[in-house]
Structure 1
Amino acid sequence: MVWPTGYDRRVLSEVDSTNAEAARLAPTLAGPTWILGLRQTAGRGRRGRVWSDPPGNFAATLVMMPKGEPAQAALRSFVAALALADALTQVTARPEAISLKWPNDVLLNGAKVAGILLETTGQGGQMSSLAVGVGVNLTHAPDLDTLEPGAVSPTSVLSATGANVDPETFLCLLGSAFAHWEDKLVTHGFAPLRLAFLDRAARLGEPITARTGRETFVGTFTDVDAHGALVLTTAKGRQTVQAAEIFF
């Protein structure tokens, strides 16, 4: 496996959180760098939730200094999702089993196998770095009683497919796939990523619930717009949702 040109990588035997380490290292890095933690002691997911990370699972963060506005930087969640789909396809040889749950989860046989967490650093409204955190249940899935009500059931690559891959090998696959989709985004814009995401989108054309924290929208998942927002067809008409928790 060939590591992508222009990307560095660091493998740590133990770290509190790869996203936290990314924030600490960002000012010292000369270019995009993957940080892989073989063991996380304080992993976290979206909205500060605990991310279970037993040995054998994958926890890594890519530190980037992307150009453009924060909204453009946020499109890296789609880059990461598509890269995960490609990497998992190589590991499992089951592309039909992999789908993408807007905005930042990857499903295997309809169960959650991976999550993405984007965080930025900066001051005065200026972004200095972007951390693209990725967690994958390679060998273990979290217990059901640790999940919030309505959450998608978890799974692992090993339990669902029998495929056994170590984190460092998976990093090579993911790093190469991410570089591919990042190049497409920079060269051609979001349009090709949007189409690729829709081709693998979970529950497209089906009823879903989107909760923003202040509002709840129930409707048919119709589209992802040119800026990455979710488009629902509801009883009140077409609704565009920029950020939300999605429930099936």
Structure 2
Amino acid sequence: MSADWPEAVDRHLLPTVDSTNTYGFLLPRVPAWVVAEEQTAGRGRRGRNWVSPRGNFYGSLILEPDLPPERTALLSFAAALALRDACVAVTGMEGIFRLKWPNDVLLNGRKLSGILLERRHDRLAIGMGVNLIGAPPAEAVETRALPPTSLLEETGQRITPAQLLSHLAPAMQRWQAELAQGFGPVRKAFLSSCAHLGAPITARTMTEVHEGIFEGIDDSGALELRTSTGIMLIPAADIFFRNTPDAPYH
């Protein structure tokens, strides 16, 4: 392990696995990172399939957090910040990475990664997928969703999963420690890198669609949407930008 690897955190590197989250739930000891060269049954949000070709990053941090569910969900913001920091570290390029609420990392306005939190009994899996060398074709993603991209396509740099993990693990430890002191600093850091803050967006929940201006994030992590009737708090939704993906960030 590298000198910066977090103390008392195990590391499991696998050639192939169905899902790093699922594998991590069965480990005898945590905390631990599980990273696979290939997933055969990767999952995204709301049960969506996550395409998992070799060469990209598929990893999960497995924890047993002593936190209530509403606080546990805030770890997704810490994970997004850690992943952004790791991408900056491995590429040496900072301004091209932004964050899309609640936890996507964008590269030049396109989707680079996804983060999925799953809980099973007393364990939490923070699963992360990052397009290092390849991304699904644009026609494979949902209509109006941001088109996917990869680090290789946008930067010309070929980064390995091991290189990313060596920066991601310590970055995640730092942001976990920050979150343990309160959500305020994490919220401030997330908003400072947030895409389309102050711009019109569409928020689609499981049952409704709302349009308005992305005003910010409240102390619980909910999105603040300014509508014609006032500020609406949205704890979970799919977000669609109403201007073009390549438009300047707000």
> Which TM-score band applies after superposition, normalised by the shorter structure?
over 0.9
Task: Tell whether the 8 Å contact from 1:157 to 1:164 is kept in structure 2 after alignment.
Answer: yes
Alignment equivalent of 2:165, drawn from 161, 166, 171 = 171
User: Structure 2: which 5+ residue stretches go unaligned?
Assistant: 242-250
Q: Which residue of 2 aligns with 1:149?
A: 143
Q: Which residue of 2 aligns with 1:7?
A: 9
Give structure 1 regions of 4+ aligned residues with deviation exceeding 2 angstroms.
none
192-201 vs 159-168, which moves further: 159-168
Q: Which residue of 1 aligns with 2:197?
A: 204
User: Structure 1: which 5+ residue stretches go unaligned?
Assistant: 123-127
Shift of 1:4: 1.4
Task: Tell whether the 8 Å contact from 2:90 to 2:163 is kept in structure 1 after alignment.
Answer: no
Deviation per CA, 1:203-237, whole angstroms, max 9, x where unpaired? 00100011111111111100100111100111111
Task: Tell whether the 8 Å contact from 1:4 to 1:175 is kept in structure 2 after alignment.
Answer: yes
Task: Tell whether the 8 Å contact from 2:10 to 2:32 is kept in structure 1 after alignment.
Answer: yes
Letter in 1 for 2:229: K
Letter in 1 for 2:135: A
Shift of 1:106: 0.6
Map 1:1-248 → 2, pairs under 5 A: 1=2, 2-25=4-27, 28-29=28-29, 31-122=30-121, 128-186=122-180, 188-248=181-241
CA distance in 1, matches of 2:208, 2:26: 35
Deviation per CA, 1:4-60, whole angstroms, max 9, x where unpaired? 1131110001101111112222xx21x310000111111111111111111110000
Deviation per CA, 1:133-172, whole angstroms, max 9, x where unpaired? 0000000011112111111100000000112111011111
CA distance in 2, matches of 1:24, 1:210: 35
SS of equivalent to 1:39? coil
RMSD: 0.9
Quick check: which one's helix share is greater? Answer: 1
CA distance in 2, matches of 1:71, 1:6: 26
Letter in 2 for 1:71: E
Task: Tell whether the 8 Å contact from 1:91 to 1:163 is kept in structure 2 after alignment.
Answer: no
Task: Tell whether the 8 Å contact from 2:63 to 2:125 is kept in structure 1 after alignment.
Answer: yes
Letter in 2 for 1:226: D
CA distance in 1, matches of 2:100, 2:74: 15
Shift of 1:68: 1.6
CA distance in 2, matches of 1:43, 1:190: 29
Letter in 2 for 1:58: F
CA distance in 1, matches of 2:137, 2:21: 23
Letter in 1 for 2:87: L
Tell me the number of residue pairs that the alignment of Structure 1 and Structure 2 aligns: 239
TM-score of the superposition, structure 2-length normalised?
A: 0.93
